[in-house]
Amino acid sequence: MLITDLAKNHGPTLTATDRRLIAVLQARPAEAAFWQAAELTEPLGLHQSAATRLAQRLGFDGYPRLRDALRQDYLAGGGPSQRVRGRLERHPDDVLGGFVDDEIAALAELPRHVAQDEIDDLARRIASAGHVYLFGHGNATVLVGLLQRRLRRSGIRVTALDGPVRDVAEQLATLQPDDLILACAFRRAPRDLIPVLETAGEAGSYRALITDTLLSLSPQPDAVLAAPRGGGDEFLSLTVPMAIANALVLTLARHAPERAIRSLDRLESLLDRFDR
């Protein structure tokens, strides 16, 4: 673990306060990789400047640089087989029980990372958007599929940006300022994400991202809903981002209830017609 190596290398220069902070970073490495300085120091009754001093004693310009290094360490958890092995080694006899416990712990931390106000703001923007475009590759396509279906059922004009790169580019050719891009990406940014964000920025479209680790993209999305999904060196599920997506859909229904209900009623009548 990076923080442990740093503590060993700089041991003689560390104060008692530094060691208290390091103990927290060691105990909660996946979450600490996302914390602001105050989130690290305030539970210990310390001023956030204590985090800055710790970072400097560990050889960094400031706490943000230390946090970036911790995040890279979090991301370097090995390949898929190693991550699965890590989860199985922790719960060798009760895979289901251990998995449920880990997911509950990750979900319990979610409100600390994503505020309801952030979800409210994005829901309002989706409700007023001319067209919503969803983007995701790999495991994120599961989340895109869920959002596409549920947004469409809520009366939102929505398109999933899928297929080869040329197809994605063609779909974005008519992007308008009142459109919205909602991307889902985890661990590392897929190759197409940056061009999608650049194109949306040039069109004046709002850009939002649901993620776990991608907090320093360039260009930066207008809104980032980011929460860790568990330990970086283990098998990770979509439970946490799925909760964000579902909360977003429910919040959208709260902000635009008439449209959502009207659309769902229309769907129900159509289903009755096709089920004859």
Segment 3-28, tens digit of pLDDT: 877 887 888 889 999 989 988 887 77
Rounded to the nearest 5°, which phi and psi values hold at 87? -70, -40
Label residue 88 by pLDDT band (50, 70, 90). Answer: low
Residue labelled with tokens 């909760």: 243
User: What is the structure's pLDDT at 256?
Assistant: 74
Query: Which residues have a Cβ under 8 Å from the Cβ of 67 and sit 6 or more positions away?
Result: 32, 33, 34, 35
- Ramachandran category for residue 187: left, alpha or beta (phi over 0 → left; psi -120 to 50 → alpha): left
Query: Which residues have a Cβ under 8 Å from the Cβ of 195 and sit 6 or more positions away?
Result: 169
Q: How far is CA 4 from the centre of its chain?
A: 26
**CATH architecture of the domain covering 2-75:** Orthogonal Bundle (1.10)
Distance CA 60, CA 53 (A): 9
Q: When comparing pLDDT for 237 and 125, which is higher? A: 125
Average pLDDT over residues 181-209: 92
Q: Which two tokens stand for residue 31?
A: 């979450």
What's the one-letter identity of residue 15? T
Q: Compute and round to an integer the Cα radius of gyration of the chain.
A: 21
Using the predicted structure, report yes or no on whether residue 80 has a pLDDT greater than 60.
no
Using the predicted structure, report yes or no on whether residue 97 has a pLDDT greater than 80.
yes
Average pLDDT over residues 52-60: 93
Q: How far is CA 148 from the centre of its chain?
A: 18
- Superfamily of the domain at 111-274: Glucose-6-phosphate isomerase like protein; domain 1 (3.40.50.10490)
Q: In 121-142, which positions are buried (b, 16+ CB within 10 angstroms) versus exposed (e)? A: ebbebbbebebbbbbbbeebee
Q: Are strands 206-211 and 132-136 parallel, antiparallel or unpaired?
A: unpaired
Average pLDDT over residues 219-223: 92
* Domain locations in the chain as residue ranges: 2-75, 111-274
Distance CA 210, CA 203 (A): 21
